[in-house]
Amino acid sequence: MKYITSKILLEWLNCVFNPEKYDDFCPNGLQVEGKERIYSIALGVTACELFLQKAIKAKADAVIVHHGLLWKNDNLAISGIKRKRIALCLENKLNVFAYHLPLDDHPEIGNNITLGTLLGFYDIRKNSSNGSMLWLGKSKNLRDMDHLNTIISTKINRASLLIGNPKKNIENIAWCSGGGQKMFSEAIDVGADVYVTGEISEPVVHIARETDIGFICAGHHATERYGIQALGDLLRKTFDIKVEYIEVDNPI
């Protein structure tokens, strides 16, 4: 049965994502060391307890996630939920790899490029502002903002929330997967007619109303499923081992 080593996988992932380029909220790369030989990899959005249990049940030797176990602003104590998750990994010798901003930003398999492609956008490009995580594009044959909202809900298989005039014609679209509501003002500044992201907060509603720029909340988890799945496709093409995406539903 074919395998790769954890060292080879880490080197390959770091070559794909170049984590050293990002000032991130977490350590990108190997967060928990497990077995040296990896025969099977499980992919998911978040290294929550249920995902880890499912990965272990599937006999994965390694997991690769977008939201890992370790965050820079967390309490350093290994207790509570963090202790339970890490204990599961250590007891089962499960390698945990996590890539946050590098997975959002990757130009071919990132969360943003894959989301834009899924939604049928074209002329896709990243905002040229230094360090920006905002992406821009257009969509063909859109009747109005409500039509775009319907397309999004259908494609991601969950109801998205539209703030703004549903009958407004739109041409320029901006988006950022996950919790990108704070980038709404940047989207307005670059001339977007509507902004799509995964989360919403109270001030956003007023900004949308007062600027007449649409805001669509499509779900943090829902908008960040596609990059990790695209990574799975690339892994299968590169290594002759089992690779499986495990979905753990999250309504947010």
Sign of CA dihedral 76, 80, 86, 90: positive
100 labeled part of a ligand binding site: no
224 labeled part of a ligand binding site: yes
Q: How far apart are CA 184 and CA 115, in angstroms?
A: 17
49 labeled part of a ligand binding site: no
106 labeled part of a ligand binding site: no
Q: How far apart are CA 187 and CA 75, in angstroms?
A: 33
Strands 135-139 and 172-176: what pairing? antiparallel
Classify residue 86 as left (phi > 0), alpha (psi -120 to 50) or beta: alpha
74 labeled part of a ligand binding site: no
Strands 40-46 and 135-139: what pairing? unpaired
120 Cβ contact partners less than 8 Å away, ≥ 6 residues apart: 139, 140, 151
80 and 49 in contact (C-beta within 8 Å)? no
Binding residues for a divalent metal cation: 66-67, 104, 220, 224
Binding residues: 66-67, 104, 220, 224
